[in-house]
Amino acid sequence: MSISPSDPSIHVAAAYYDGQTTASKAVLLSIAGGDLLLRGDALELRWPLGEVHVSERLGNTPRLLTYSEGGHCEVNDQTGLVQLLAQVGAGRSWLDGLQHSLPWALAAMALMLIIFAAAYKYLLPWGAEELAMRVPASMLQKMGDSTLETMDEYLLKPSTLDEARQQSLRDAYAALRTPADAQLKYDIIFRSSPMGANAFALPNGTIVMLDGLVELAADDNEILAVLAHERGHVERRHAMRMVLQSSVVGLALAWYVGDVSSLLATAPAIIMQAKYSRDMEREADVYAEQTMRANGLSPCLLGTILYKMEAAYLAKMKEKHPEAGAAKDDSAMDYLSSHPATAERMRLMCPGK
């Protein structure tokens, strides 16, 4: 069907269709006086070149020459057509070059990798922070209230600590001097939960303190350290940023993997979000460290209580799953974990120990 590439002739074989029937007619294409000439068995057509649309090259697929008045030619002889069109100076578009060269494909791949990495590491966290910092306080208040409502309904129980103890912790926290200019109104509420020794911050500045943590701490300053850490999460709008960042990561992966498999899209998303989560924990640690120093307290207190919380958690896990081995080497799990390894956090905050 195709003429050999070395053929010097400027005639190119094509199949002509008139657009009215599916009858295929073999023709030879040539160019004469600004017209495209189609010659075949009992057929001769002249199409002014200005009225002919030549389809772009797309791999090795047939090229189509479509006449605006109706009818088209299908050409399988790629080199022949290029030679034919070269006579009238028809050049190639930049996209044509891009789509058909291996070096460009590899360059595109490298460029994409760089864009992905830069967006993941810098652009997205920066954009989410800029946006989150502009969220009005009224919306944060609403988010915090509705979150607490849901958690109270399903996860949390009233605190069993006596009122005096609660008040003394509230007072100690209120007396805490903060390093940056605080933007939100902070209060602590006490709850108990099977989650054990923990505390978490809601977007509106409310810090939920679980009884387990108060019982675990040997020293109220340790509790203050955890509170300062949680306050760091709130001040830096971590909850909002996490929502923004993880939805963008999820969307991007769903788009890239397309319809291959939802499993392929979700597993990497979880791993990618874990890094953001660890970065935020470190940021909150730094905030806590600054707060502790501003109040003349040792930042090592946060490390101490983190170790205790980790030990309490592991003990609890062991109780539930006695067959599981000893505490895992948590540095190896760092890539997958939502929190940085406690030893590493300790080293950063409290270099002496």
Partner 1 sequence: MQEQFGVKNQSFEFTGSGWEYFKIWIVNLLLTIVTLGIYSAWAKVRRLQYFYRNTRLDGGSFDFHGTPQAILKGRLIAFGLLIGYNAAFEYDPMIGLGVAAVLALVMPWLLMRSLRFKLYNSSYRGLRFGFAGSTGDSYRAFLLYPLLAMFTLYLLAPLAHQRIKRYQFDNSRFGNASFSFGAPVKGFYILYLSSLAVMLGSVLLAVALAMMMGSGAAGAAGIVSGLMMAGPFIMLVMLVAMLVVSSLFSAYMQNLVWGSTTLGPHRIFSHVSARRLLWVRVSNFIGTVLTLGLFMPFAAVRMARLQIEAMGLAVSGDLSGFVADQQLNATAAGEETAEMFDVDISF
> By the 8 A CB rule, do 85 and 79 touch?
no
Q: Token pair for residue 301?
A: 């207190």
Distances (CA, A) of 207 to 153, 188, 297: 17, 5, 21
Of 68-76, 151-159, 232-240, 323-331, which segment contacts partner 1 by CB under 8 A? 68-76
Distances (CA, A) of 6 to 57, 83, 101, 266: 20, 11, 22, 52
Q: Which of residues 10-39 bind partner 1 (CB under 8 A)?
A: 15, 17-24
> By the 8 A CB rule, do 29 and 14 touch?
yes
What is the rounded CA–CA span in Å between residue 35 and residue 7?
22
Beta bridge partners, 48, equal 35
Q: In what order do the strands lie in the sheet with 52-54?
A: 43-48, 35-40, 25-32, 12-17, 72-75, 63-67, 52-54
The verdict on 336 binding partner 1 (CB under 8 A) reads: no
The verdict on 326 binding partner 1 (CB under 8 A) reads: no
Smallest distance, Å, CB 59 to partner 1?
A: 4
What is the rounded CA–CA span in Å between residue 278 and residue 330?
13
DSSP letter at 210 equals E
What is the rounded CA–CA span in Å between residue 74 and residue 347?
70
Helix (H) or strand (E) segment spanning residue 294 = helix 262-294
The verdict on 111 binding partner 1 (CB under 8 A) reads: yes
> By the 8 A CB rule, do 60 and 78 touch?
yes
The verdict on 264 binding partner 1 (CB under 8 A) reads: yes
Question: Residue written as tokens 């999820």?
Answer: 250
What is the rounded CA–CA span in Å between residue 188 and residue 71?
78
Q: Which of 108, 118, 333, 336 binds partner 1 (CB under 8 A)?
A: 108
Beta bridge partners, 27, equal 14, 40
Smallest distance, Å, CB 70 to partner 1?
A: 9
The verdict on 74 binding partner 1 (CB under 8 A) reads: yes
The verdict on 256 binding partner 1 (CB under 8 A) reads: yes
Smallest distance, Å, CB 77 to partner 1?
A: 14
Nearer to partner 1, 23 or 164 (CB): 23
* Total binding residues toward partner 1, as defined by CB under 8 A: 39
Smallest distance, Å, CB 338 to partner 1?
A: 23
The verdict on 109 binding partner 1 (CB under 8 A) reads: yes
The verdict on 112 binding partner 1 (CB under 8 A) reads: yes
Q: Which of 133, 194, 258, 315 binds partner 1 (CB under 8 A)?
A: 258
> By the 8 A CB rule, do 283 and 232 touch?
yes
The verdict on 143 binding partner 1 (CB under 8 A) reads: no
Smallest distance, Å, CB 319 to partner 1?
A: 19
Smallest distance, Å, CB 181 to partner 1?
A: 31
Nearer to partner 1, 101 or 183 (CB): 101
Of 52-60, 228-236, 280-288, 315-323, which segment contacts partner 1 by CB under 8 A? 52-60
Q: Sign of the C-alpha dihedral, residues 299, 301, 302, 307? A: positive
Q: Which of 62, 127, 196, 250 binds partner 1 (CB under 8 A)?
A: 62
Nearer to partner 1, 4 or 21 (CB): 21
Work out the number of other CB atoms within 10 angstroms of the CB of residue 306.
Answer: 21
Of 102-110, 176-184, 232-240, 274-282, which segment contacts partner 1 by CB under 8 A? 102-110
Interface ranges with partner 1 (CB under 8 A): 1, 15, 17-24, 55, 58-62, 64, 71-72, 74, 95, 98-102, 104-105, 108-109, 111-112, 115, 256-258, 260-261, 264
